């Protein structure tokens, strides 16, 4: 029979064993037991300094730092004081950029830190097999030799994504070691100053066999102004899906016909004279501030049956424009730049060809420059060879003065199926805008209202399908109110009229409320039409 003392002793021992087990369980490092790939995902959102600091925890974590696949050095910021013999990432603090809009270029001291980190990985690479780099991102001021060293080391680590934004003390040549890299999938190379040169086309052709995305900025092409044979050869860029060329100084001739290209962006290529695009899988095209304004023989041709989005802004009107097979187009944004106000007959024909070529779009945005061109030359006709029979949503940017009414009417006549119209009024301080005065307006009649009434029959299809109207920057002036009254009077299926009042000539609240009341009192063709003010 168990005595009381032996029972107390047994229970005490059992309690001690349980406490010891709980203590051991409490101090068990389960995080360190996770696979490297999982820990890499956990650390990925952190700045690179914080990731490096985990290497002091244990040997396990030191090896984890040396094998970390994504090295984003754009978060580094040096503190000048400190001992140079510390860990490669000592004396470094994080720096947050302003939504990517402003970037701070790293100093030479920081470039040395980057070099030391890569050196440590190289030493580790001799002992381990998992130190390849997936992403290397650098924004720095580098010497020419250091830049080449950095890129060579990155390719030796089988880098898959290389993103370098650099300032150098001289023009530098495009690093040839990346041309024949079998691991590289994404390459972004941007030079802020002074720029970089491409090697001869014979060197470039046949390279980049694994590249999926290419972005080049500030390329000096004065000695080789033609890239016709670079992106058109079947041996070049066989897997390329995304291409971005920005500030290609001296580029005059470009042909893009990569078989698998899906996304193409051209920006600030203001020496460009001719552009030909023939890519069967191209889905998105963005062209901003391109083409030579002084060229008399510029042209643009495109055949893209899979194109879904086109963004064409502030680019010079070329002498010839041919758009073919844009049958899949959904969204179009169009704006032109004209060096002189009056356009030649050939350039007006180019505008007509462009607007007709995008006639299959379902959503259309037109910059104010388009409205001005259509209004100034409306009497010549021929701008819309084909009506926009698939168009459902339209956005127009305009200053809405009386000179632009013909252009607006031309667009509305050729958009019979639109159900949502968005107008963004610009330049609201224009002196030509007359304040609304209902008494004077009704006694003498408004020229704007008379013009819209004269267009009501030609615009009948447009007016009988329009359901939603949104006017941003509404100024409560004659131009705006005449148009609103016209839409309310003839919009048979109109459901909502949204008027967002912009910055206009000062009105007191009583006067503004009076105008709102008068607008609500306008006759409406649709009993369901609601007027909302903001």
pLDDT one-digit tens code per residue, 276-325: 999 999 999 999 999 999 998 999 999 999 999 999 999 999 999 999 99
Task: pLDDT band for 207, please (50, 70, 90 cuts).
Answer: confident
- The token pair at 294 is 């002084």
Whole-number average pLDDT of the chain:
82
Determine which of 118-132, 152-166, 172-186, 492-506 has the lowest per-residue pLDDT on average.
Answer: 118-132
Residue range 17-37, pLDDT digits in tens: 555 555 444 556 677 767 777
* pLDDT score recorded for residue 344: 85
441-484 residue pLDDT tens: 454 456 788 899 999 999 999 999 999 999 998 887 888 888 99
Q: What is the model's pLDDT at position 436?
A: 52
**Partner residues linked to 299 by β-bridges:** 274, 320
Residue 15 in this model has a pLDDT that exceeds 70: no
| Helix (H) or strand (E) segment spanning residue 452 | helix 447-454
pLDDT band at 4 (very low <50, low <70, confident <90, very high): low
Global pTM? Answer: 0.83
Residue 499 has pLDDT above 90, yes or no: yes
In whole angstroms, how large is the CA radius of gyration of the chain? Answer: 32
Q: What is the C-alpha separation between 284 and 512, in angstroms, rounded?
A: 44
pLDDT at 530 exceeding the cut of 90:
yes
417 pLDDT band, cuts 50/70/90, is very high
- Distance of alpha carbon 110 from its chain centroid, rounded? 30
pLDDT mean over 241-249: 96
Contact yes or no for 388/364 (Cβ under 8 A): yes
Tokens of 312: 């064409």
Q: Which pLDDT tens digit goes with each residue over 68-116?
A: 888 888 877 644 334 433 333 333 333 334 444 445 555 556 677 787 8
pLDDT given for residue 86 in this prediction: 38
Q: How confident is the model at residue 204 (pLDDT cuts 50, 70, 90)?
A: confident
Report phi then psi at 283, rounded to 5.
-110, -25
pLDDT at 240 over 90: yes
Q: Is the pLDDT of residue 507 over 70?
A: no
Determine the pLDDT at residue 193: 76
Distances (CA, A) of 339 to 160, 257, 291, 394: 43, 30, 12, 27
């Amino acid at each position: 029979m168990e005595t009381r003392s032996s029972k107390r002793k047994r229970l005490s021992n059992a309690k001690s064993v349980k406490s010891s087990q709980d203590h051991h369980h409490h101090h068990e490092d389960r995080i360190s037991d996770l696979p490297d790939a999982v820990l890499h995902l956990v650390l990925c959102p952190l700045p690179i300094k914080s990731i490096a600091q985990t290497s002091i925890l244990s040997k396990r974590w030191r090896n984890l730092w040396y094998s970390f696949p994504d090295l984003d050095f754009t978060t580094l910021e040096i503190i000048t004081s400190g001992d140079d013999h510390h860990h490669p990432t000592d004396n470094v603090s994080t720096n947050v950029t302003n939504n990517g809009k402003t970037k701070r270029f790293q100093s030479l001291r920081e470039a040395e830190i980057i070099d030391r980190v890569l050196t440590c990985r190289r030493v580790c690479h001799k002992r381990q097999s998992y130190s390849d780099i997936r992403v290397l991102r650098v924004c720095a001021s580098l010497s020419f030799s250091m830049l080449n060293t950095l890129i060579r080391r990155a390719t030796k680590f089988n880098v898959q994504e290389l993103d370098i934004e650099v300032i150098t003390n001289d023009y530098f040549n495009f690093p040839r070691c990346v041309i024949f890299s079998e691991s590289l999938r994404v390459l972004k190379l941007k030079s802020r100053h002074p720029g970089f040169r491409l090697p001869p086309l014979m060197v470039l052709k046949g390279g980049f066999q694994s590249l999926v995305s290419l972005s080049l900025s500030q390329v000096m092409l004065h000695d080789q102004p033609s890239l016709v044979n670079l992106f058109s050869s079947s041996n070049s860029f066989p897997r390329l899906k995304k291409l971005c060329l920005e500030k290609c100084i001296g580029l005059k001739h470009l042909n893009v016909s990569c078989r698998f290209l899906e996304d193409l962006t051209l920006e600030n290529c203001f020496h460009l004279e001719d552009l030909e695009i023939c890519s069967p899988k191209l889905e998105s095209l963005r062209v901003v501030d391109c083409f030579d304004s002084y060229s008399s023989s510029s042209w643009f041709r495109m055949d893209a049956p899979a194109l879904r989005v086109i963004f064409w802004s502030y680019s010079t009107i070329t002498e010839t424009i041919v758009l073919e097979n844009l049958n899949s187009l959904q969204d179009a944004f169009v704006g032109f730049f004209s060096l002189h106000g009056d356009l030649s007959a050939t350039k007006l024909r180019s505008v007509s060809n462009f607007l007709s070529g995008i006639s299959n779009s379902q959503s259309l945005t037109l910059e104010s420059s388009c409205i001005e061109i259509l209004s100034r030359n409306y009497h010549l006709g021929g701008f819309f060879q084909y009506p926009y029979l698939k168009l459902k949503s339209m956005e127009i940017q305009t200053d809405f003065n009386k000179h632009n009414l013909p252009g607006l009417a031309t667009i509305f006549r050729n958009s019979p199926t639109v159900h949502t119209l968005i107008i963004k009024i610009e330049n609201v301080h224009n002196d030509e805008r007359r304040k609304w005065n209902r008494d004077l307006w009704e006694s003498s009649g408004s020229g704007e209202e008379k013009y819209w009434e004269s267009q009501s029959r030609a615009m009948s299809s447009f007016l009988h399908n329009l359901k939603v109207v949104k006017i941003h920057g509404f100024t409560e002036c004659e131009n705006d109110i005449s148009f609103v009254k016209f839409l309310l009077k003839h919009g048979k299926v109109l459901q909502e009229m949204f008027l967002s009042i912009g910055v206009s000539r000062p009105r007191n609240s009583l006067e503004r409320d009076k105008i709102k009341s008068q607008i609500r009192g306008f006759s409406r063709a649709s009993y369901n039409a609601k007027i909302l003010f903001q």
